Amino acid sequence: MGGQTPYAALRNMLNKVKPYRSMVSLQFGYAGMFIISMVSLKHGMSNFILATYRHLAATIIIASFAFLLERKIRPKMTLPIFLMIVILGFLELVLDQNLYFLGMKYTSATYTSAFLNIIPAVTFIMAMIFRLEKINVKKIRSMAKLIGTAITVMGAMSFTLKKYQAELSLTAWICFMGMLDGAGVSLVTVRDLSAWKIGWDSRLLAATYSVIVCSGITFYVQGVVIRKRGPVFVISFSPLCMIITAALGTIILAEKLHLGSILGAIIIVLGLYTVV
């Protein structure tokens, strides 16, 4: 450690494990979102409206912080970057979230979180396309990445982060575009205006929690970690969310865990640490 003091050595060690701590914490946040959202959907809230409220509140909150903290470092918005933000807003916030909320409605929180891990290699392929990851088929580590990587749009997000290096502003833009697209989809699919009313119940909790933890903290932290460690590192932690959700779902929602589910979770954990 050279001439470092114990405090300096501890600080360096904590900085090195910071991306790991951040991603593990985010998985707990995601698991909580799955459980709370499931309760809200069971009480009759529309998945389209839940997603729209989430993005609306996230836009307001994150844009406020972005205005205060990134006024001097915010890059100029260009047409290619704006188009990428529009695509991200639709894919990540509208299509992705509405589909898994809808799927959760008809299955369970555990099943929905597990489903995020069944399509391998897409993120890694996208990262290769955008030249954010390198692969050598002769190396076990590279092959493990190919096998263990799950689906997401992190490749597109990584490309955007490369060009627009202001995480809060980027997050606010993505949430704003997702809110606009989501509101349009909600108005078309949910004709009953009374469905937009929320009281002091699980529906308000679901929307608030999703905003603070998932649309706000998660997007920002993921952006920072992607820049430091790459998209494959980020997405490789998603299996952990399934395990946490399964445990919470069993305790809170009385979901049943079968032997096959437990064995599958063990295999995914082994794959997770192989990839990372």
pLDDT digits (tens, 9 = 90+) for 117-132: 654 445 555 556 665 5
pLDDT at 268 over 70: no
State the distance between the two ends of the chain, measured CA to CA, in whole angstroms: 25
Neighbours of 51 (CB within 10 A): 29
Q: In one letter, which amino acid is 236?
A: S
Of 148, 101, 89, the closest CA to residue 274 belongs to 148
Question: Residue 265: what pLDDT?
Answer: 64
| Cα dist from 103 to 91, 109, 199, whole Å | 16, 9, 24
Share of the chain above pLDDT 90, in %: 0
Please, which residues have CB within 8 angstroms of residue 81's CB and are 6 or more apart in sequence?
160, 163, 164
pLDDT at 48 over 60: yes
pLDDT at 113 over 50: yes
Angstrom distance (rounded) from CA 269 to CA 19: 18
pLDDT at 232 over 80: no
Question: What is the rounded average pLDDT of the residues 241-253?
Answer: 83
pLDDT at 111 over 60: yes
Averaged pLDDT score across all residues of the chain: 74
- pTM for this prediction: 0.65
Host H or E run for residue 156: helix 154-163
3-state secondary structure of 5: coil
Question: What is the rounded average pLDDT of the residues 156-182?
Answer: 70
